[in-house]
Amino acid sequence: MPFDKDQFLSSVSRILRAEYAAEIPTATEKELYNAVSRAVMEQALEQKQPVHAKRCAYFSAEFLMGRAIFSNLLNLGILEEAEGALASVGRSLNCFEDVEDAALGNGGLGRLAACYLESAASCDIPLDGYGIRYRYGLFRQTFEDGYQHEEGDDWLKWGDPWSIPVERDAVVVHFDDLDVKAVPYDMPIFGYKNGVVNNLRLWSSEAVQPFDFAAFNEMKGERKAEENFLATKICDVLYPNDNTMVGKILRLRQQYFLVSASLQDILKKHLAAGYALKDLPAHRCFQLNDTHPVLAIPELLRLLQSHGMTFEEAFAVASKCFNFTNHTILAEALEKWDALALSDLLPDVFEQIVACQNRLEAEGLSKEKYFIIRDNVVHMANLAVYVSSKVNGVAEIHTGILKSETFADWYELYPKKFVNITNGITPRRWLLLNDPALAKLIDGKIGEGWHTELSELKKLKPFVSELLPDFKRIKRQNKEKLAAYIKEHEGVELPPDFIFDVQVKRLHEYKRQLLNAFSILYFYQKIKRGEAKDFPPTAFIFGAKAAPGYYMAKAVIKFINEIAALVNGDEEVNRYMRVVFVQNYNVSYAEKLVCAADISEQISLAGMEASGTGNMKFMLNGTVTLGTMDGANVEICEEAGKDNNYIFGATVDEVAEIKRYYCPREILETNPDLKRAVEMLTDGTFSDELGMLEKLQGSLLSGHDPDRYLVLYDFPDYVRVKEQLLKEYGTDEYYKKCLLNLAAAGKFSADRSVKDYNRLIWKLK
Ligand code: 26Q
């Protein structure tokens, strides 16, 4: 976008005056933020967009967008110009670092949706997002006495200058007990320096009729008032569960609200353009981001029949339009709904689900494994697989598991339906924006082509040795910045010459933050015994939110915070190690952590992490992986070389076999240091008024499936490889590995991913 400094500043001034009676020099940061954003919106939305023959709609309950302002300015090609213009009048973009993240997502799945929108726009692929405008996003996390506390996430605190409410496109969503108005808020998605603007449409729920005082006075209004209350409640808050299913009716309402509003909107536009409904597949396709929006299938069937199609005709259209991405192997995350509850709330939708079940049986699919409705439970994944054209996993190993286990019977039936599309991340936010110094260094060596063709990073390979000094200097500066930030926000001092070992992701037992924690206690004991004089000083950095109802995850947070207090408070030890669990880990925190890390911990039990995308972010920022052969780690090793990373642990094929005879207590007998570490959970070393740590220990040693995620089993190999990594740290050999990972990160661009989706599934343009 061309940038005219004077015009920009005069727009900002005009908006400040009109909206806030303010002037640039004295406007508050919030006022300036809104005025700058609106000024950019005005200009950016002037660009005319081409009309496409066919568009894809990405249906997702989550879009974890993070902060918009910096990435929008970057993509519009005016980041430096806008900063320059503001500097000339004594202001700076820096003060927008306090703007809230749009955290309308939990973790990987939501952030992936955000990366895909950005990449699709950057690749000129007509992809639009459809989601929910939660009033409160993922909770804000603080620690009190080491325990996680949750507060509401008021993400609109500074306003929402990047959205436009489109009242004329409002629709009514009908539930059996109430009608709700859905109002869309459109957020433009700017492609990287290409003039493309796609759209993210987030629906907000409102009462259909404003509060009726007359009726209320006649006592008829009480029910209406209740309905109005329920209507607004639908979009109140994002459910904070990641990889776990919660069977809450309000969540079901949210899901239906999202898909019904979106499909009504899309069909209305399709008809208004003069097309016939039977031709929908020529103009539209829908990507279902996991099972959360799968009610879109029966809803489309219902809508098409309400326009006069037969069920079979509607089914034929739906099966050409829908595609389904699975993001998880965990049984507890596969969505199931109670059939009675569903039919109570959405009888017409339920009828369509029953019709699908009947059709499936009429086709002769008599195996219960295929059933959409079985024992009064609706299996959303089966509905999705049955109707979709394509079903995809998100990394090679994951798609393999879908074919051989999760959906093995379906795969036998429809082998061609299944495809793999390995996840990716946008290199704009995850390198250009979060590490401009490193980006400049790369530009200087190989030009700027990698900004839009990430595989060009491989041109760095011959320069790896030459680049080492600059790379070290930049990494050091990033570590200093992060240390200052952590000192300010967490009150913990991290010397920048320590190794920064980082594990940031949602807290889940399968991700095994506990494995990392035990290794810290193992090193701690060695230091205490005086056996680790040559232990390289290391800062163990954690960031993770636990679902508020996930007891064991919260226990792990408490445990690590207790370890941090023990280690950081011990003068003998804190010369060798520090531990910090940062509060409220989110996209903006990730941007700071990823470019300052020396070690990327990706240590899930093999077969559990569908892909992971954090692993890719660290790799792209020149960080080696300490990880298992799980998810996309496998492909990271393929691309960058196993020898350039630090791989340990049981493989997927070994896990099943190990579990047959596994006895965690036996492991402890052969490993006294590990035994001590596990005992420390309950021996009084740590305060445990609530008995959380005791339960954590119980989950490892007793119950019907002790140590489900093989933490103790993998421990010896983990520590062996970790010690080797810590020993190699700082050598040229180590830094070369970092850069070779960076140079091999091309495959993990979300540009490649969305192009794969387009080539194999959407077939747009
Ligand atoms: C389901 C029902 C009710 C309430 C919540 C949920 C729910 C919410 C979020 C279930 C699952 C999720 C999120 C799953 C997720 O983030 N999966 C991750 O997806 C990433 C992108 O593909 C992968 O990289 C990760 O490996 C995978 O864990």
pLDDT at 332: 83
The phi, psi pair for 543, rounded to 5°, reads -150, 130
CA distances from 376 to 336, 341, 705 (A): 10, 10, 28
Ligand 1: nearest atom to the Cα of 243: 11
Task: Give the residue carrying structure tokens 């804190």.
Answer: 574
DSSP-based three-state secondary structure for 392? strand
- Residue 613 is a catalytic residue: yes
C-alpha span between 301 and 343 (Å, rounded): 16
Exposed/middle/buried for residue 572 (C-beta within 10 Å: 0-12, 13-18, 19+): exposed
- Residue 506 is a catalytic residue: yes
Identical topology for domains 55-62+105-134+166-423+754-762 and 475-742? yes
pLDDT at 219: 59
Pocket residue to mutate for ligand 1, from 241, 249, 289, 338, most atoms within 8 A of Cβ: 241
Relative to beta strand 179-190, strand 197-207 is antiparallel
pLDDT at 331: 84
pLDDT at 245: 77
C-alpha span between 424 and 249 (Å, rounded): 33
Catalytic residue among 475, 506, 545, 578: 506
Distance 665 CA to ligand 1 centre (A): 32
- Sheet (strand 336-338) strand order: 336-338, 377-379, 373-374
- Collect all residues with Cβ–Cβ distance below 8 Å to 12 and sequence separation of at least 6: 24, 32, 35, 36, 39
In the chain, DSSP finds a helix count (H) and a strand count (E) of 31, 23
Strand runs (DSSP E) across 270-400, as ranges? 284-289, 322-325, 336-338, 373-374, 377-379, 390-393
Record the tokens describing residue 619, joined without a space.
């790799």
Domain ranges for the chain: 55-62+105-134+166-423+754-762, 475-742
Q: Which fold has domain 475-742?
A: Rossmann fold (3.40.50)
The answer to whether the CB of 326 is under 6 A from ligand 1 is no
pLDDT at 215: 67
The answer to whether the CB of 612 is under 6 A from ligand 1 is yes
- Residue 505 is a catalytic residue: yes
* Four-CA torsion 146, 151, 157, 159, nearest 10 degrees: 110
Catalytic residue among 67, 91, 617, 722: 617
pLDDT at 216: 63
DSSP 661-711: H--HHHHHHT-HHHHHHHHTTTSSSS--TTSHHHHHHHHHHSSSSTTTT-H
Second-level CATH architecture of 55-62+105-134+166-423+754-762: 3-Layer(aba) Sandwich (3.40)
- Residue 367 is a catalytic residue: no
Catalytic residue among 181, 251, 292, 327: 327
Record the tokens describing residue 644, joined without a space.
């350039």
Ligand 1: nearest atom to the Cα of 111: 21
**Which residues of the chain fall below pLDDT 50?**
none
- Residue 675 is a catalytic residue: no
pLDDT at 291: 97
Task: Give the residue carrying structure tokens 């519009």.
Answer: 76
Give the containing element (helix H, strand E) for 199: strand 197-207
pLDDT at 115: 99
C-alpha span between 288 and 284 (Å, rounded): 13
pLDDT at 212: 67
The answer to whether the CB of 72 is under 6 A from ligand 1 is no
C-alpha span between 739 and 476 (Å, rounded): 15
Distance 292 CA to ligand 1 centre (A): 10
Nearest of 203, 197, 198, 171 to residue 185 by alpha carbon: 203
Helices (H), 53-188: 69-75, 79-88, 108-122
DSSP-based three-state secondary structure for 259? helix
pLDDT at 478: 98
The answer to whether the CB of 611 is under 6 A from ligand 1 is yes
Distance 242 CA to ligand 1 centre (A): 5
DSSP-derived letter for residue 100 is P
281-333: per-residue pLDDT in tens?
A: 999 999 999 999 999 999 999 999 999 999 999 999 999 999 999 999 888 88
The answer to whether the CB of 422 is under 6 A from ligand 1 is no
